[in-house]
Amino acid sequence: MALGKKLVFPKRKKKKSRVQNKMGKAPGTISYMGDKERSDSVIFSTFYNTDGFQTKEFRTLDEFLKSEQTGHISWVNIIGISDEPFIERLGKHYNLNPLVLEDVVNTEQRPKIDEYEDYIFGVFKMLYISEEDEIVGEHVALVLLENTVLVFQEVKEDVFNGLRDRITGKMGRIRSRGADYLFFALLDAIVDNYFLVIENLNHRIEVLEEDVYNNPEPIVAKNIQQLKKEILKIRRWIYPVKELISRLIDSEHPLIKKDTKLFLRDVHDHTVEINESLQIYREMSMSLMEMYMSNMSNKMNEVMKVLTIMASIFIPLTFIAGVYGMNFEHMPELHFRYGYYVVWVVMIILFIGMMLYFKKKKWL
């Protein structure tokens, strides 16, 4: 190859990333960063106190703002975060910082907690098992105000049905508590659902262990690799939650009452247990690949052992056949009347003797 000649590689089609969509924009720019198809935002609002509750659906922001009530705890559930003007108007109504709204519409935002003078903002990943038995991760943002909790979701599916039943059925203490307890209950529902995800991972690891031992096919290695990636992704979503809950417990913010912090400690204990389980499953997924490679190596050794034994048996037989297959005229054995039968007897004795020897050595 001539010196100085430039190598030309085929160009790969580059996919525009979400980071590139964000680059160059001013901080606080409300720009939806997600994979869902854009749609209008819908508000499902639940007002409640010790006397009763009321649930309404609002298709327009104006309709919602006109219906706001006082003297109640409000759970405002915003479904759909791709409608940027809607999110911006709602944020202005509640005096939310533009940086908060930027994180609300950024589905790649890592879990975080930010404390402001009048509210507390948090971003989390809501994980649940789909009907196809797949782990689904959805972006959810929470804002704790004095008597209101705002919940921003990409899709309507969530893990809060149990909480809704407690409010509508007046079960437990939630109807007699403030917005900070509702904030805790939402976090508790998110974290509790992580246990279902952990169980799903545990089941998949057990299935893969059986496959590794009984059927170490190439597809098993692919499934192990996919599981490892999924565990790492889930760990990236769940791991920071422990520190965030700890921050809420240690917080001096007036919106979080002292008795609510006692319940947050229980959530913190759950996050510690979940993180420990994730670490164990991560190590198990790595050992699964090692077990797979070891089993494949053992399988190959078994094949090589059989081939070696066959070669060892036929080498002396081939030698005898080769000697008497030579075309020399003066070979004494060629004129021996029973030479053919003698050679066959010798070859059979050699074959049986070698088989018995290999068996005695437990090579067979």
Residue ranges of domains in the chain? 24-294, 301-360
| Among the ranges given (84-88, 167-171, 277-281), the one the predictor scored with the smallest mean pLDDT | 167-171
Task: Kindly state the average pLDDT of the residues 83-105.
Answer: 93
Q: Looking at residue 106, what is its pLDDT? A: 92
Q: How far is CA 342 from the centre of its chain?
A: 70
Q: Looking at residue 17, what is its pLDDT? A: 54
The token duo for 33 is 């960063």
The token duo for 284 is 């198990």
Task: Kindly state the average pLDDT of the residues 112-127.
Answer: 94
Overall pTM surpassing 0.85 (yes/no): no
pLDDT tens digit string along 9-46? 344 444 445 555 566 567 778 888 888 888 889 999 99
Alpha-carbon gap, residue 64 to 230, rounded angstroms: 39
Q: In this structure, are residues 278 and 235 in contact, taking their beta carbons and an 8 Å threshold?
A: yes
Alpha-carbon gap, residue 23 to 287, rounded angstroms: 40
Task: Name the helix (H) or strand (E) containing 291.
Answer: helix 258-323
Positive or negative, the CA dihedral 63, 66, 69, 75 is: positive
**How big is the CA angle at 267 (ends 55 and 157), to the nearest 5 degrees?**
40
Q: Which fold has domain 24-294?
A: Beta Polymerase; domain 2 (3.30.460)
Residue 68 has pLDDT above 80, yes or no: no
Residue matched to tokens 């490892």: 228
Residue 6 has pLDDT above 50, yes or no: no
User: Around 195, how many Cα atoms within 13 Å sit in the side-chain half-sphere?
Assistant: 10
Residue 111: pLDDT band (50, 70, 90) is very high
The token duo for 102 is 């930027």
Residue 250: pLDDT band (50, 70, 90) is very high
Q: Under the phi-then-psi rule, with left for phi > 0, alpha for psi from -120 to 50, and beta for the rest, what region is 145?
A: beta
Which letter does DSSP use for residue 146 in this model? Answer: S
List the beta bridge partners of residue 58: 43
- Look over the chain and give the mean of its residue pLDDT values, rounded to a whole number: 86
Positive or negative, the CA dihedral 255, 259, 261, 266 is: negative
Pairing of β 53-58 and β 42-48: antiparallel
Q: Looking at residue 18, what is its pLDDT? A: 56
Q: Looking at residue 8, what is its pLDDT? A: 43
Q: Which CATH architecture has domain 301-360?
A: Up-down Bundle (1.20)
Pairing of β 73-79 and β 148-153: parallel
Q: Looking at residue 218, what is its pLDDT? A: 82
Packed helices 179-214 and 258-323: angle between N→C axes, nearest 10 degrees: 10
Residue 350: pLDDT band (50, 70, 90) is confident
